[in-house]
Amino acid sequence: MTSTTWSLVQYSTGGDEVRLGFSADGLVRSAPAELAGLDTMTVLRDWSRYKALLTDLDVDALPVVEDATLLAPLTYPNTVLCAGVKAPTRNSWRSRQRTCSRSRPT
């Protein structure tokens, strides 16, 4: 087992094929044979199956992918979460309008 901090990533090497890999110390490394052909979503969905392998994995021993282009970490996620600022409600707008109309000189 290694103490290197790593991230699960997806990358390509010039083609359209998405590959699973690991990012550690600024390098992309290819996944071991047990994870070949999988994507990040597959590993996350079946985490209990892959947890032991990932826990014991020596990322530093994996081959470095020199020409890797990092892709989005999740391909086709099931849920997309968005955040935004809450706009004033209609009632608050009307109350401001009434306040303004009362303050006008007659």
42-51, 53-62, 66-75, 91-100, range with the lowest pLDDT: 91-100
Nearest Cα to Cα of residue 28 among 53, 9, 2: 9
Q: What is the mean pLDDT of the chain?
A: 83
Written as six digits, the tokens of 66 are: 């020199």
28 vs 96, which has greater pLDDT? 28
CB atoms closer than 10 angstroms to residue 84: 5
pLDDT at position 79, please?
Answer: 76
- The C-alpha atoms of residue 93 and residue 86 are separated, in whole angstroms, by 13
pTM for this prediction: 0.68
Show the tokens assigned to 72.
């989005």
Instruction: Return the pLDDT at 74.
Output: 82
Look at strands 7-12 and 69-70 and give their pairing: antiparallel
Summarised one tens digit per residue, pLDDT across range 6-19 is: 999 999 998 888 99
